[in-house]
Structure 1
Amino acid sequence: MTDESRPPEGRMPSDFPDPQGRPEFLPADDQAEQSGWRSETASFESGRWGDPSGRPADTASYGSPSYPGPGQARAEETPHNSTRAYESPYFGNSAGAPPYGGDKRPPPPPNALGMGAGWAPPPSGPQGGFGGAPGRRGPGTGVLIVLAVVIALVASGLGSVGTFLLTRSGGSGTDPSYSLGPIPSAATNRAPDSIAGVASRVLPSVVSLEVNASSAEGVSGSGFLIKDGYVVTNNHVVAPAAKGGDIQIMFNNRKTTKGRIVGRDPGSDLAVVKPEETFGTPEITLGNSDQVVVGDPVIAIGSPLGLTGTVTTGIVSSLNRPVIAGDESGTSTEEPAYISAIQTDAAINPGNSGGPLVNGKGEVVGVNSAIATLSRSMSSQGGSIGLGFAIPVNQARRVAEEIITTGKAKRPKIGIVLDKDYKGQGVRISSDPVEGRAPVDANGPAAKAGLKAGDVILEIDGLTLQDGNELIALIRSKAPGSTITVKYQRAGQQRTAKLTVTADDSPAPTPS
């Protein structure tokens, strides 16, 4: 018990864990020897009986001149009616015969207790009666405690000796016969829909890329094999090799080969690479990102920090998250990528870029592309904090097809220029031309739907817009020819229009 928990007054019973025994009393024999008093067990000594008058014992002895024995005459006669009742040699009956026969002495008075000097109680028998042996007293409390401690110590010692005898082996502390038993046998097969089952099917289709450029540091990333042996990855992974350099592709079986860039799209941060050899690697299965909902379990696979074949799990944290991916230093001549991303808490780290984000069926639903970190320094790489972002696979499918068929990707648009200085609700179309371009393209999708300069776009397909970057990312994620519903405001009144997304074959100077 600490001082903080001790009661303010008195002490708790737990302060005295040992029971407080009763005061130890010494036997009466010991007291008699120490104090000089006669012993309680010496009430009869050589045929003497104490005199209640307090006279010395030697003058009241039976058979003495004061108390003659049978047939003896007293030195001084006493009248028959004298009050000296003890002058008779024995207590006789009316006939004068001894009631106890022979030379037996009379019994002690009932309840005889010490009553003064020279008086002692009669000896007690086995049941406290006359003529028996003295009664035996039990051991005291202290003796019992000591005896218990001795027994406990002896038992502990015997146990230690037994343990030593059982565990010793040649005095070296080892036991040649010691064994933990056989290793349990268990199957390594897992259910196809389990994480392990999905990973075993997807891992063979995931590759690791090492990109070396003469004018830049090496970059590592990930990718996955699609139909006809093409590899889909991020543009920012292979960009250093676009102006010279080489790409090394390592497959899951540790075999390596060189690869070449088929095409890349900085605006979507996607690229396609063709390896020289695939070593019989199976292609991955592509899913439908439009069917993904928040909370779906997902698995991210790639080579974070060069650790090939790494599998992490999580869920879909959010959808349509606007992300701008690009060179934050501002030295790149390429436009930034606007992504309407799938957000996940599956651990994604540098090196995961370009790897697949798959669902519980093993189908690709996204291409891991970016992470949010607490460090904004370009000299240090931040780790995963549970905020990873992937390009929806429907967008990646379209871009990959366009790159493989034409060498470049189309740019979806609706034909407007945004007012970057607007801070109100929604997104406003610019009121004036920007860099010689009209706020609304003539004969463009927005103009055909009735939108004009100065209109404020509030929603796209029911999604409330927060800023212009979100609008650009949403339009870039749409396939050319798709129809969207736009809710906008003009002169304080809300209106709704439908328009069809078109595309440019070359990037526009201003996102639209």
Structure 2
Amino acid sequence: MAVATMVVLATGNAAVAFADDLSAKEIYERAAPATVRIIGKTGAGTGFIYDADKGLIVTNAHVVLDEPSLRVGVQDRAPVAARLLGIDPCEDLAVLTFSNPQPDLKALKFGDSKKVSFADNVTALGYPESIEAQGAQKPVFTTGAVQNPDVKDSTPDPDLPRYPETIQHSATLNPGNSGGPLLNGKAEVVGINTLSGVGDVQGQYYAISSDHVRPLLEQLAAGDVKNDPGWLLTTVQNPQLADYFAEEDAAKVAATQKEFKDQDGMVVTYSRTNSPAYKAKLGPGDVITGLKGTAVTSYADVCDVLQSAAPGETLPVDGMYSPLNANGKDMKAGEAWTTDLVVDKGK
């Protein structure tokens, strides 16, 4: 074992190394075989194996949500089919497994995130988009220091859920790193990397604390689906709103944002066939303004209502038609509508 020199923290973001910390190379060698690349039809991200015997992988929900097919690549191995076991978009967590058993898997051990302190050394592993897509490859790593070990109720962007417990750190993350491990000096997972410079957190990086994650994994691995009505939502004034619709709808997107310049809400960009949202006749272009009598102006607002609802509860939904789905006859842009959303009972 390499012995690190003790560093005395003075000012700034310098990291503190402890005498029993592993070197960055040792941390990487331990963690890389268990850090996986998750490949969907519309995007890719990172995850890690936390139970080698059962082949269980944890990642962010936003990496796998509504992906019609998934593959997982383990270090130098070719990607193989995987299946989603359980998901909770409001916790931004999901558990998946290999469609067929895989030999000689390695797993990462969870550490105690409450023991993480300011300026501790941390290492992030993942598969950022900058590396060559597809095929056999290895994860990359970055190192940094803990800037805040216990960030409570973070809501960094209106398109993201509320994160109850996160670690803010300076180990650089990029798109594609989501779902990967944040490791302490013993190569233990103290967080799941989730946020990389979005909204008001430009240049800052956040991981969901391991102590928050661990109690949720058993139910997700058992097949629980929570807080997932089967929709994709984004804020009506999202600058990237046009990316969710066909190119020929660009004028309608611009008209929608102009129509709702003084009205906050969440735009439905997709509803999964036979999901609660689909059964409530919610579809692309619908602008949701209220849920269970509560105004919703962000995804965190939506999650606050969903997380407090009982399984099977009926939630009244208020909204308005937009230029994206108004037909000028029975559906006019700006016209109000109501419907009922029945909360999924889970698995």
**The two structures share one fold, judged by TM-score above 0.5:** yes
Partner of 2:187: 362
- Percent of aligned pairs with the same amino acid: 29
CA contact (8 A) 1:234 1:271 kept: yes
What is the aligned partner in structure 2 of residue 229 from structure 1?
55
Q: Secondary structure at the match of 2:66?
A: helix
**Partner SS for 2:107:** coil
Counterpart of 1:312, as a letter, is T
Are 1:267 and 2:267 matched, yes or no? no
CA displacement 1:459-482 (0-9 Å, x = unmatched): xxxxxxxxxx8xx99xx9xxxxxx
Structure 1 residues 447-462: aligned runs within 5 Å? none
Matched, 1:316 2:146: yes
Cα distance in 2 for partners of 1:200, 1:291 equals 23
Give the CA deviation at 1:385.
5.5
What pairs with 1:24-423 in structure 2 (closer than 5 Å)?
A: 193-212=22-41, 218-227=42-51, 228-241=54-67, 245-276=68-99, 277-305=101-129, 307=131, 308-318=138-148, 319-324=150-155, 328=159, 336-373=161-198, 386-408=203-225
Q: TM-score, normalised by structure 1?
A: 0.38
SS at match of 1:336: coil
- Name the Cα RMSD after superposition: 3.4
Structure with a larger share of its residues in strand: 2
Q: Which has the higher contact order (CA 8 A, sep 6+)?
A: 2
**Alpha carbons 1:269, 1:337 under 8 Å: kept:** no
Q: Distance in 2 between matches of 1:353 and 1:506?
A: 31
| TM-fit CA distance, 1:503 | 9.7
Match of 1:179 in 2: none
Which letter does structure 1 place at the counterpart of 2:108? I
Residue equivalent to 1:166: none
The gaps in structure 1 that reach 5 residues or longer are 1-188, 213-217, 329-334, 377-383, 411-433, 438-468, 477-501
- Alpha carbons of structure 1 residues 266 and 309: separation in structure 2 relative to 1, 3 Å: same
Task: State the shift of 1:396 in Å.
Answer: 1.4
The letter of the residue matching 1:310 is V
Cα drift, residue 409 of structure 1: 5.3
CA distance in 1, matches of 2:156, 2:312: 19
Shift of residue 402, structure 1, vs aligned partner: 1.5
| More moved, 398-407 vs 354-363 | 398-407
State the Cα deviation string for residues 214-267 of structure 1 (Å, max 9, x = none). xxxx211000001121110000000131xxx21111111233211011010011
The letter of the residue matching 2:28 is A
Separation in structure 2 between the aligned mates of residue 503 and residue 398 of structure 1, nearest angstrom:
20
Q: How many residues align?
A: 219
Letter in 2 for 1:211: G
**Secondary structure of the residue that 1:305 maps to in structure 2?**
coil
In 2, the alpha carbon distance for the partners of 1:205 and 1:252 equals 8
Rg comparison, structure with higher value: 1
For residues 386 and 198 of structure 1, the distance between their equivalents in structure 2, rounded to whole angstroms, comes to 24
Residue 283 of structure 1 and its aligned partner are, at CA, apart by 1.0
1:32-57 deviations in Å (ceiling 9; x for gaps)? xxxxxxxxxxxxxxxxxxxxxxxxxx
Structure 2 CA distance, aligned partners of 1:267 and 1:240?
Answer: 14
CA–CA separation in structure 1 for the residues paired with 2:102 and 2:174: 26
Contact 1:300 1:346 in 2 (8 A): yes
The C-alpha deviation readout for 1:124-180, integer Å capped at 9, x for no partner, is xxxxxxxxxxxxxxxxxxxxxxxxxxxxxxxxxxxxxxxxxxxxxxxxxxxxxxxxx
* CA positional deviation for 1:290: 1.6
* Gap runs ≥5 in structure 2: 4-20, 132-137, 228-290, 295-299, 317-347
- The whole-number CA distance in structure 1 between the counterparts of 2:212 and 2:178 is 16
The 3 A distance-change label for structure 1 pair 385 and 197 is: farther
Q: TM-score, normalised by structure 2?
A: 0.55
User: Once the two structures are superposed, what CA deviation does each residue of 1:390-443 show, in whole Å capped at 9, x if it has no partner?
Assistant: 111122111211212352459xxxxxxxxxxxxxxxxxxxxxxx9569xxxxxx
